[in-house]
Amino acid sequence: MSLEEKLVREMRKRGKKVTPQRRFIFQALEKESDHHPTAEEILHTVRQTLPDVSLTTVYNTLHNLVEMELLREVDLGEGMTRFDTNTDIHHHLLCKRCGKLVDIHRQFRNVFLPPEDAHGFIITSHQVIFEGICLDCQMKAGMLKQ
């Protein structure tokens, strides 16, 4: 089942309307699932087929999906939110220079807060963010001694 089909079903299940705009947003999410698109990027893709879609609609739909837990918001302090169709636990590696973002699908077994360090919180999730400099940026900066 494609992502589009899945999301359409979930929308219907919850009595939400399935508009053409939403269908194309679902398709864009599927198409760009590999690189954590921003709302602007989704808008751009959707407008290739539906030129009058508004940014508000994109945000509205993405937020709906997040609420339905079918989409994950990823905020790495870049000044904008990225959206990730992979809602499984995974981590991120971010290039400080160019903003390139890579998924890390490895688990870190130790990352767990024992009750005495949890300050009474109910912990619902955790995320590891690695920061560094990607190959391209090392190249550009002449950091690679070839």
Q: Are 60 and 23 in contact (CB under 8 A)?
A: no
Q: Give the angle 89-5-16 at the CA atoms, nearest 5°.
A: 90
Q: Does 143 bind its own copies (CB under 8 A)?
A: yes
Using CB under 8 A, count the residues that bind its own copies.
37
Q: Which of residues 38-57 bind its own copies (CB under 8 A)?
A: none
DSSP lists the bridge partners of residue 96 as none
Site for DNA, rule CB under 7 A: 12, 15-22, 38-40, 50, 52-57, 59-61, 63, 79-81
Binding site partner of 113, from DNA, its own copies, none, Cβ cut-off 5-8 A by kind: its own copies
Picked from DNA, its own copies, none, the partner binding residue 115 (CB below 5 to 8 A depending on kind) is: none
22 binds, among DNA, its own copies, none (CB under 5 to 8 A by kind): DNA
Instruction: Tell me the CA distances in angstroms from 111 to 98, 114, 119, 123, 128, one per residue in order.
Output: 28, 10, 16, 12, 9
CA distance 10 to 33: 18
Q: Which is nearer to DNA, 47 or 90 (CB)?
A: 47
Report the sign of the C-alpha dihedral through residues 78, 84, 88, 92, in that order.
negative
User: Which of 15, 120 has the CB closer to its own copies?
Assistant: 120
The span from the CA of 77 to the CA of 67, in Å, is: 21
By CB under 8 A, tell whether 123 contacts its own copies.
Answer: yes
Cα gap 113→111, rounded to integer Å: 7
Answer yes or no whether residue 12 interacts with its own copies by CB under 8 A: no
Could you say which residues in the range 99-118 bind its own copies, by CB under 8 A?
102, 104, 106, 108-111, 113, 117-118
